[in-house]
């Protein structure tokens, strides 16, 4: 790791009440970052905040609501940025899966998934990006790299490799993949790193929320396991964020070693 301390960073992590988001919040905090944690289940966030002690603020609410997005960014600036510095390590992780395909999945869950995986991600990329761009106004050249500024989004291997068994969920992650690379090209030149992390199978609450068929899942995991843990993903995020400001690890795919596909 280039710089193992993130002690000068102000982070936001969405979907931090469980799984990958919780592990990212813990790892960033362990490396010294101040963190604003978000998810809908306030009691889980409060328990996490309590276990971490200082340098944590809780903003509970739906990550797609404008009020939640503004509250996360305002809290980060007010509590950890001395009222003027914006959050500079925004991890857009809140999301959900859905078993089945465009043909077979439960259509009643489509809108919630699209809202969380795509609309919430786009809104926070936009709001955080606008604020960080404002901080960069008037600067040129190396002055734009006075400190690291990151927006890191959770994609998926099924957002890069077309899978016949998750075309609906995979479609949301293809969206995120394209959006992140487009925004990277747009605001990277202004010193803001916009990055994608694309994990394969990770054990978390994800599989239950998605409603995967137990026998199918057991078959996959027996074949490719052991699968990744949330801490494996968190280590990668901390590695990306801790690079010097002039270095951008913009896209990482990580899989269980025995996962051949997707």
Q: Which residues bind to ligand NAP, rule: CB under 6 A?
A: 14-21, 38-41, 44, 62-64, 93-97, 116, 154, 156, 199, 201-202, 204-206, 209, 230
Pairing of strands 10-13, 251-254: unpaired
Q: What would the two tokens of residue 230 be? A: 């949330």
d(CA 5, CA 102): 43
Pick 43 or 137: Cβ nearer ligand NAP: 43
Helix (H/G/I), strand (E/B), else coil: 39: strand
Q: From the CB of 182, what's the least distance to ligand NAP, in Å?
A: 19
Work out the burial of residue 48: count CB atoms within 10 Å of its CB; fewer than 13 is exposed, 13-18 middle, 19 or more buried: buried
Q: From the CB of 94, what's the least distance to ligand NAP, in Å?
A: 4
Q: What residues contact 195, with CB distance under 8 A and at least 6 apart? A: 150, 151, 152, 153, 180, 184, 240, 248, 249, 250, 251, 252
Pick 10 or 124: Cβ nearer ligand NAP: 124
Pick 11 or 202: Cβ nearer ligand NAP: 202
Q: Are 89 and 11 in contact (CB under 8 A)?
A: yes
Q: From the CB of 20, what's the least distance to ligand NAP, in Å?
A: 3
Q: What would the two tokens of residue 91 be? A: 């991890």
Pick 45 or 191: Cβ nearer ligand NAP: 45
Helix (H/G/I), strand (E/B), else coil: 34: strand
Pick 191 or 230: Cβ nearer ligand NAP: 230
Neighbours of 88 (CB within 10 A): 27
Q: From the CB of 116, what's the least distance to ligand NAP, in Å?
A: 4
Q: From the CB of 210, what's the least distance to ligand NAP, in Å?
A: 8
**Which residue, 254, 138, 125, 253, is CA-closest to 193?**
125
Q: Are 68 and 79 in contact (CB under 8 A)?
A: no
Pick 6 or 228: Cβ nearer ligand NAP: 228
Q: From the CB of 82, what's the least distance to ligand NAP, in Å?
A: 27
Pick 6 or 153: Cβ nearer ligand NAP: 153
Q: From the CB of 96, what's the least distance to ligand NAP, in Å?
A: 5
């Amino acid at each position: 790791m280039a710089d193992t301390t993130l002690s000068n960073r102000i982070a936001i992590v969405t979907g931090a009440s469980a799984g990958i988001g919780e592990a990212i919040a813990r790892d960033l905090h362990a490396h010294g970052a101040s963190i604003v944690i978000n998810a809908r289940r306030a009691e889980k966030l409060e328990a996490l905040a309590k276990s971490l002690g200082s340098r944590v603020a809780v903003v509970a609410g739906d990550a797609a609501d404008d009020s939640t997005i503004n509250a996360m960014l305002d809290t980060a600036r007010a509590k950890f940025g001395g009222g003027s510095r914006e959050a500079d390590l925004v991890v857009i992780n809140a999301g959900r899966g859905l078993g089945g395909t465009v043909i077979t999945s439960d259509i009643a869950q489509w809108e919630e998934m699209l809202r969380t995986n795509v609309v919430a991600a786009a809104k926070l990329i936009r709001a955080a990006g606008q604020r960080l761009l404002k901080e960069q106004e008037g600067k040129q050249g190396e002055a734009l790299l006075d400190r690291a500024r990151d927006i890191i989004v959770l994609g998926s291997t099924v957002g890069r490799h077309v899978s016949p068994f998750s075309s609906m969920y995979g479609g949301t992650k293809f969206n995120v993949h394209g959006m992140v690379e487009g925004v990277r090209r747009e605001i990277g030149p202004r010193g803001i790193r916009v990055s994608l992390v694309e994990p394969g199978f990770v054990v978390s609450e994800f599989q239950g929320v998605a409603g995967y068929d137990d026998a199918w899942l057991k078959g996959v995991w027996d074949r490719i396991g052991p699968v990744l843990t949330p801490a494996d993903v968190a280590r990668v995020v901390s590695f990306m964020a801790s690079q010097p400001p002039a270095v951008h690890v913009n896209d990482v795919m990580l899989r269980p070693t025995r996962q051949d596909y997707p």
